[in-house]
Amino acid sequence: MPTASAVTSVTSGMWQQIRSQQAQRAADQASQVARALQSQASDARAAAQQAQENARSIEIRANQAQSKADQASLSVRTAETVGQSQSQIAEVYSKLPEIVVPGSTTTQPTSVTTSSTASVGTVIDTTA
């Protein structure tokens, strides 16, 4: 029959083995959790990098849209200026008969130009 010390020795060895197995399982589980967290961190870094690339792309498109808006605004201002110039030219042409007095011998030729560089013409008094 086994002695008490032999039973205690076997039992102690079994408890040692069980504790060792439990510690190994805990270490394995901790390792699995660590790998899962590392994978999540890697995925998060990839998502952040993709988000930065998307942000850069959106910023480029926003700058292009702003450039188009600025160009459209400039076109509107240009059209308004051209319209004002045309109105001023029409006013000058409507006043030309008042400026050129028939029968006057002291009338000097008057050059009429637009806001552009092209010359519209020269008014010459032909009455003599």
For 29-67, what is each residue's pLDDT tens digit? 999 999 999 999 999 999 999 999 999 999 999 999 999
Q: CB-based contacts of 107: which residues, under 8 Å, 6+ apart?
A: 100, 101, 125
Q: For residue 68, how far is the Cα from the chain centroid?
A: 12
pLDDT of residue 40: 98
Q: Does the pLDDT at position 88 exceed 60?
A: yes
Q: What secondary structure does DSSP assign to 26-84, as a single string?
A: HHHHHHHHHHHHHHHHHHHHHHHHHHHHHHHHHHHHHHHHHHHHHHHHHHHHHHHHHHH
The mean per-residue pLDDT over the stretch 2-24 comes to: 78
User: Over the chain, what is the mean pLDDT?
Assistant: 83
Q: Look at 111 and 40; give whichever has higher pLDDT.
A: 40
- On the question of pLDDT at 4 being above 70, the answer is no
Bridge partners of 121? 112
